[in-house]
Structure 1
Amino acid sequence: MCGIALLVSGIRIDFSSLRLDSVSPSSKTQQVVSLEDLKAALQRRGPDSLGTKKLLLFHSISLLNSGNSLVSSVTEETHVLDNGSNGPECFAELVFVGATLQLRGVTPVSQPLVDSYGNILVYNGEIFGGLEIGSDNNDTEVLMQYLRNCCSCHSQEHATTCNFNGQKKGSVPDVLSQIKGPWAIIYWQESSKTLWFGRDAFGRRSLLVHWPNLEDPRFLLSSVSPTSSSLQSSDFEVENGTNGIKFWEELSCGIYSMSMDATHLDGGFLGEVKKHEWTNVMLKELIEWERVSVEPKPEELYSSRFKTLTVKSDMDSASSGPIPAQNVLTALRESMMRRISLHNIYQAVKDGARQKENVPVAVLFSGGLDSMILAALLDEYLDPNYEIDLLNVSFDGESAPDRISAKAGVKELRRVAPLRRWRLVHIDADLSKLTWETKHVLSLINPANTYMDLNIGIALWLAARGEGWVCEESSDGMDEDKCVSYTSRARILLLGSGADEQCAGYGRHRTKYRHESWLGLHEEMKLDMQRIWKRNLGRDDRCFSDNGKEARFPFLDEDVIRTLLHIPLWEVADLDQPSGKGDKKILRKVAEMLGLHNAAILPKRAIQFGSRIARESNRKTFGSNRAANQASAGSVVIDLPSYLG
């Protein structure tokens, strides 16, 4: 799946119980988003199919007995319903949109799905565990079967499993709480006339919401902010929300319901929105993000450092190393296996025949610690007949730090995995020539609107596009005299997102530790994990999906998160140690166990700095890096006319 959307009109929506910080303000300038805009934005992603379903609700007030009825009808096209009543009718419309990127199952599936009971589902996600999915099954179809068997009561009244007509039934939140993997969902439950929607607990799939306001009383959900057809002028400030008017906002992680009711006063419709609790105890623990041990005793810290010194010389194989690192490596291996298996794209290799043109999985690759671990793990579980694309973005040619480390990283990967054909894709860009691309990425990252968001968004979007050049391999590495243009066709991209947040990889973690010791460090890391959906993942998912690619995050697997939380903080990171050693300490041990000795000592470097797009952006916008630093450029809201010149 690569995107979903919903447009609701004709319903007065009550979302007061959500206690929102703000509601989209009224303004003389109105962003108009149509159904065609939503479809066009999803079509850009190159789905295998795109479909719509329109659900009409009508309320008939009988003049004979003053009775009320709420009736629904699913149709491909809007039409007027005539139920033979002799009273006025009020209509409401819900339009579901689903764009499908077929990655699982052997039979093509188009969304939205509509079953024989009138339930409607659009689902953007992957089920890697929690619900049983057969190797030949499509996870969306299986999820529909689980949801079909749910009870019709609201979960506030659903304390235990319902006994419905003699059958025990769980609730919709029960089913969604069991899913392991990234997801965003919109689901109409016909039996209760209830709309369900939401996104997974960490926000690994984007879902934007427009809450009704005076200018636009509709309720909208979408995987991406479309470029409005009514704003194709130079007024990009309004289009992208940079003038303070925000049409869209990131939907907070969680499960929501909107129960429909026909009001008795005017015959109209009222939709009451509520947010529901997760029902999975383990998932709640991960969301609360409480570590088993935070502050070490002096002897525990000494012992940990002593073991690091004595074990280091015995880490030449993946079977050696301290127990916490072994546990993390095991969890990462299982996470990787789940993310690259059971996909129909692998059927291209038959009887061991090598398909050079079919590269199913690529890695966003800087040559740094996280991407090196992902590449080495991918090699362990991907069929050896496949080549692996390593996507590296540079705004400074061969001189960018990430390009230099990527070349070194490929050499190390060839040493630990000599039978694999590694393809380093050089993706070069000149920021001054990316006028159209910049405007487009501004629309994609919306509602994010800082220079840092834009810089990261451009780099990720270019990486996902995969257009660059590759060099032929020679006996001592790459032959730079034999380079050709190349575009990666991989539909699955692996990213290291979540590694820094969970393992103290940011510079501000070290600052926090310096001022507030271990407890302060833990609270800062907890804050990062609990806001990663808003600061990172929604934005990143929109930039990758725009190119018809699906981003997957092995470090954000539920079992990996749980494993790391059960390890004492001083085993995860020791920020008394220098950069490249104490930060992400546990992952450096994992790298050593994989034989990645050079990668294990590399310092953290964010993509906007490693690719040097931040430097080019600072020069363009602020005149110099020094001026940008003085202005805290990363957090500055974009001044679009100035930026675009």
Structure 2
Amino acid sequence: MCGIALIVSGIRIDLSSSTLLQSLNPEPLVTVSVDDLKAALRRRGPDSLGSKKIILQYNKNLSSVDDRELVSVVTDDAEIENDQSFLQNCSNGKAGNYNQLGYSVGELQFIGATLQLRGLNPIIQPFVDSYGNVLIYNGEIFGGIHVESDRNDGEVLMQTLGNCCSCGSNGHTGPCSAAGHGCSSVPNVFSTIKGPWAIIYWQESSRTLWFGRDAFGRRSLVVHWPTVKDSRFLISSVSPFSSVDQSSDFEVENGTHHNFWEELSCGIYSLSMDASKLDGYLVGEVKNHEWGNAMLLELIKWERVSFNPKPNELHGSLNGTLEGQHHMYPASSDIMTFESGPNQTMISLPAHNVLSALRKSVMLRASQHRIFEAGRCYSRREEHVPVAVLFSGGLDSMILSALLDECLDPSYGIDLLNVSFDGQSAPDRISAKAGVKELRRIAPLRRWKLVEIDSDLSKLTLEMKHVMSLINPANTYMDLNIGVALWLAASGDGWVSERPSTNSDENQQRLSYKSEARIVLVGSGADEQCAGYGRHRTKYRCGGWHGLNEEMKLDMQRIWKRNMGRDDRCIADNGKEARFPFLDEDVIRVLLDIPLWEVTNLDQPSGTGDKKILREVAQMLGLHEAAVLPKRAIQFGSRIARESNRKNFGSNRAANQASAGSVMINRS
């Protein structure tokens, strides 16, 4: 999928029953139009973009105010004329003359952009069924709901939701009316989906608008709650450029940050309409709903099976090192022998389980069966590169690349997208070149292309402004640095070097190249789950295993706000779909079932003990050089942080003294 947006107007929204955080600060004066939202979604290069309107009104002809009945009409995206011909098109035919109603009319405008990756036949969002239900959906179903290999998952989801009862909506009371009839509720269907999603769904039978995003926020969804200056309710996959360009969103006044948009918290929400609460107005009440999946609730709580080792358990684990070919584990640990190169390597069963879960996760995200090609044709099959990897040559991207090679048809090439702001000297460029050599060693028949994307921060004036709109509502220099690096990398617009006939890198010819892969694998979630950040080592030093576990839990429970929305928006702007194998529900479950001291060992130096279990996985894949690489964040490995510090603070030293990463951007 690609992106979704909704504008709700003419409805007074009651947020008193919702636990959503609401800013009471003044907001900048911003105007966001339907055309702005369409333009932002169209930039993503969708195969189709469509919109529908739902007009809400209620019948004044009924004698009692309490008996007033809401009438909804689904129309194409066009101006609605207040005449009898319009009313004759009402689906239920119960509305009176529009000119004589005299009451406010609510309007819901749905916009759906589709980057179609599944199903044989072309589709256009919004989906509308025969019952008057409307769905716009941005996500992928990798489990929980069965999708045939030749079906589009959005169509399957629409059919599944159409069979739902009205239970769970705000206005429903009493037991489920469909109990025992094989029906489910909307929250239960949302909770069943395995994979990333953001959904907006109108359920006609209950006059309820459902919306939300998956439990880890892997698909962006930003929201504007009604205010005095703008009484509309807006939801969107992306902040349009106009909402940043017109305002002082990034300015800080009296230490308080104001913004038109905010990230929607992960969860399931409903907005049900009530025509009788306030005379003369249509009123909607927002409520939060519990997840209906017990296993998902466990993942959200992120409770590890064990994080406080006994002395004998810890002693055995600490003896292990990836610098040698043999790993030592206590007698009580499950171990297995793995052939890798000339020697045998002793690998723990937990590492084997992680590798199996990751392999399945990549397989689901790289599946090419019956893929919709949107009219694309290739003169030769080998020209087609369906999946790329955001590639630094580091541990996480090397594991994803090796697994992708195992899962992808051997006739396809794989693009490795690497961005640098310091030419061939950036650390990530150096490790990427070493990494592709190691990949060619373990998979010599695969056509690997290292796409070198070079950039100069001083020349990115307009591009920086655009990325500011993409990261919005994120607003720090660190967010901007990461956003620019991701945005440029995902573009796939760079250079490739012809593979030399000898081992020498001299006299290679660089050719202009743009990756056409529509799917990009990203390593997000690996550091949070396997203790890859420097602050994890600090927490372990100060608070022991308990402190480390709490810090990792905090990281996972806030990843939607700090990382995922921002990253999804920056990558999707290039007509790419980001997929996050490390954040697969089954991978998270497997990692939580492993004792923390088997996942990481922060008593050992960087490049050895941090992300210990992933280093074992890399060894099992034959990636011996990648297995000992230290962690390096994209803003540092690409050198954009250094260039940004020089540009905005004068020097790296001045930036460090100012804690530049957390400083909010001032656009004035």
Supply the distance in 2 between the matched residues of 1:159 and 1:572 (Cα, whole angstroms): 46
Q: Is 1:300 matched with 2:320?
A: no
The DSSP-based 3-state class of the residue aligned with 1:501 is helix
The DSSP-based 3-state class of the residue aligned with 2:558 is helix
Q: Is 1:412 matched with 2:438?
A: yes
For the 8 Å contact 1:573–1:586, the answer to whether it is kept is yes
Which residue pairs with 1:459 in the alignment?
485
Read off the aligned partner of 1:57 and give its amino acid letter. Answer: L
- Check 1:311–1:197 CA distance in 2 against 1; reply closer, same or farther (3 A cut): same
Which residue pairs with 1:531 in the alignment?
558
The aligned runs of 1:137-216 (5 Å cut-off) are 137-154=151-168, 162-164=176-178, 167-216=181-230
Which residue pairs with 1:549 in the alignment?
576
Which residue pairs with 2:532 in the alignment?
505
Q: Is 1:363 matched with 2:404?
A: no
How high is the TM-score relative to the length of structure 1? 0.94
The DSSP-based 3-state class of the residue aligned with 1:129 is coil
Which residue pairs with 2:33 in the alignment?
34
The DSSP-based 3-state class of the residue aligned with 1:96 is strand
Q: Is 1:610 matched with 2:634?
A: no
Supply the distance in 1 between the matched residues of 2:209 and 2:62 (Cα, whole angstroms): 29
Supply the distance in 1 between the matched residues of 2:175 and 2:631 (Cα, whole angstroms): 47
Of 155-164 and 548-557, the range deviating more from structure 2:
155-164
- Check 1:56–1:479 CA distance in 2 against 1; reply closer, same or farther (3 A cut): farther
Supply the distance in 2 between the matched residues of 1:499 and 1:408 (Cα, whole angstroms): 21
- Check 1:241–1:31 CA distance in 2 against 1; reply closer, same or farther (3 A cut): farther
| Residue 245 of structure 1: how far off its partner (Å) | 2.3
Supply the distance in 2 between the matched residues of 1:423 and 1:511 (Cα, whole angstroms): 38
Supply the distance in 1 between the matched residues of 2:276 and 2:655 (Cα, whole angstroms): 55
The aligned runs of 1:104-143 (5 Å cut-off) are 104-143=118-157
Of 9-18 and 587-596, the range deviating more from structure 2:
9-18
Read off the aligned partner of 1:542 and give its amino acid letter. Answer: R
Read off the aligned partner of 2:566 and give its amino acid letter. Answer: R
| Residue 169 of structure 1: how far off its partner (Å) | 1.8
Read off the aligned partner of 1:15 and give its amino acid letter. Answer: L
Q: Is 1:428 matched with 2:443?
A: no
Q: Is 1:450 matched with 2:450?
A: no
For the 8 Å contact 1:162–1:170, the answer to whether it is kept is no
Supply the distance in 2 between the matched residues of 1:182 and 1:241 (Cα, whole angstroms): 32
Per-residue CA deviation, residues 230-256 of structure 1 (Å, 9 max, x unaligned), is x75xx6634x56663210000000000
- Match 1:437 to one of 463, 470, 475: 463
Unaligned runs of 5+ in 2: 88-94, 329-336
Supply the distance in 2 between the matched residues of 1:338 and 1:360 (Cα, whole angstroms): 14
Which residue pairs with 1:588 in the alignment?
615
- Match 2:543 to one of 505, 508, 516: 516
Read off the aligned partner of 2:262 and give its amino acid letter. Answer: E
| Residue 421 of structure 1: how far off its partner (Å) | 1.0
Read off the aligned partner of 2:10 and give its amino acid letter. Answer: G
Which residue pairs with 1:84 in the alignment?
96
Q: Is 1:378 matched with 2:404?
A: yes
- Match 1:237 to one of 237, 248, 252: 248
Percent same amino acid at aligned positions? 68
For the 8 Å contact 1:173–1:255, the answer to whether it is kept is yes
Per-residue CA deviation, residues 444-480 of structure 1 (Å, 9 max, x unaligned), is 1000000000000000000111111010012326565
- Check 1:73–1:637 CA distance in 2 against 1; reply closer, same or farther (3 A cut): same
| Residue 481 of structure 1: how far off its partner (Å) | 2.8
Read off the aligned partner of 1:493 and give its amino acid letter. Answer: V
| Residue 62 of structure 1: how far off its partner (Å) | 1.8
Which residue pairs with 1:287 in the alignment?
300
| Residue 312 of structure 1: how far off its partner (Å) | 3.8
Read off the aligned partner of 1:624 and give its amino acid letter. Answer: S
For the 8 Å contact 2:121–2:372, the answer to whether it is kept is no
For the 8 Å contact 2:169–2:206, the answer to whether it is kept is no
| Residue 482 of structure 1: how far off its partner (Å) | 1.3
- Aligned pair count reads 635
| Residue 154 of structure 1: how far off its partner (Å) | 2.2
Q: Is 1:100 matched with 2:118?
A: no
| Residue 18 of structure 1: how far off its partner (Å) | 2.0
Read off the aligned partner of 1:26 and give its amino acid letter. Answer: P
Per-residue CA deviation, residues 384-426 of structure 1 (Å, 9 max, x unaligned), is 1111100000000000000000000011001000110110011
| Residue 129 of structure 1: how far off its partner (Å) | 0.4
- Check 1:293–1:477 CA distance in 2 against 1; reply closer, same or farther (3 A cut): farther
For the 8 Å contact 1:450–1:637, the answer to whether it is kept is yes
| Residue 19 of structure 1: how far off its partner (Å) | 3.4
Supply the distance in 2 between the matched residues of 1:70 and 1:205 (Cα, whole angstroms): 33
Read off the aligned partner of 1:431 and give its amino acid letter. Answer: L
- Check 1:2–1:349 CA distance in 2 against 1; reply closer, same or farther (3 A cut): closer
The DSSP-based 3-state class of the residue aligned with 2:557 is helix
For the 8 Å contact 2:104–2:281, the answer to whether it is kept is yes
For the 8 Å contact 2:218–2:564, the answer to whether it is kept is yes
- Check 1:348–1:443 CA distance in 2 against 1; reply closer, same or farther (3 A cut): closer
Supply the distance in 2 between the matched residues of 1:480 and 1:222 (Cα, whole angstroms): 48
Which residue pairs with 1:492 in the alignment?
519
Per-residue CA deviation, residues 338-368 of structure 1 (Å, 9 max, x unaligned), is 1011554487999x99523311000000000
For the 8 Å contact 1:9–1:218, the answer to whether it is kept is yes
Which residue pairs with 2:333 in the alignment?
none
Per-residue CA deviation, residues 499-528 of structure 1 (Å, 9 max, x unaligned), is 000000000000000000000000000000
Supply the distance in 1 between the matched residues of 2:266 and 2:5 (Cα, whole angstroms): 16
Per-residue CA deviation, residues 124-162 of structure 1 (Å, 9 max, x unaligned), is 000000111100010000001110111112267989983
Which residue pairs with 1:56 in the alignment?
55
The DSSP-based 3-state class of the residue aligned with 1:474 is coil
- Check 1:158–1:128 CA distance in 2 against 1; reply closer, same or farther (3 A cut): farther
The DSSP-based 3-state class of the residue aligned with 1:551 is strand
Supply the distance in 1 between the matched residues of 2:416 and 2:408 (Cα, whole angstroms): 14
- Check 1:56–1:87 CA distance in 2 against 1; reply closer, same or farther (3 A cut): closer
Supply the distance in 1 between the matched residues of 2:267 and 2:30 (Cα, whole angstroms): 27
Q: Is 1:599 matched with 2:634?
A: no
- Check 1:128–1:306 CA distance in 2 against 1; reply closer, same or farther (3 A cut): same
- Match 1:571 to one of 576, 589, 598: 598
- Check 1:270–1:343 CA distance in 2 against 1; reply closer, same or farther (3 A cut): farther
- Check 1:490–1:249 CA distance in 2 against 1; reply closer, same or farther (3 A cut): same
The DSSP-based 3-state class of the residue aligned with 1:228 is helix
Q: Is 1:23 matched with 2:43?
A: no
- Check 1:446–1:477 CA distance in 2 against 1; reply closer, same or farther (3 A cut): farther
Supply the distance in 2 between the matched residues of 1:99 and 1:272 (Cα, whole angstroms): 27
For the 8 Å contact 1:324–1:567, the answer to whether it is kept is yes
- Check 1:564–1:178 CA distance in 2 against 1; reply closer, same or farther (3 A cut): same
Supply the distance in 1 between the matched residues of 2:514 and 2:184 (Cα, whole angstroms): 46
The DSSP-based 3-state class of the residue aligned with 1:255 is strand
For the 8 Å contact 2:47–2:374, the answer to whether it is kept is no
Which residue pairs with 2:264 in the alignment?
251
| Residue 87 of structure 1: how far off its partner (Å) | 4.5
The DSSP-based 3-state class of the residue aligned with 1:90 is coil
- Match 1:624 to one of 636, 651, 668: 651
For the 8 Å contact 2:530–2:599, the answer to whether it is kept is yes
Which residue pairs with 1:9 in the alignment?
9
Read off the aligned partner of 2:442 and give its amino acid letter. Answer: V
- Check 1:127–1:36 CA distance in 2 against 1; reply closer, same or farther (3 A cut): same
Read off the aligned partner of 1:61 and give its amino acid letter. Answer: K
Q: Is 1:387 matched with 2:387?
A: no
The DSSP-based 3-state class of the residue aligned with 2:617 is helix
- Check 1:348–1:145 CA distance in 2 against 1; reply closer, same or farther (3 A cut): closer
Supply the distance in 2 between the matched residues of 1:461 and 1:440 (Cα, whole angstroms): 10
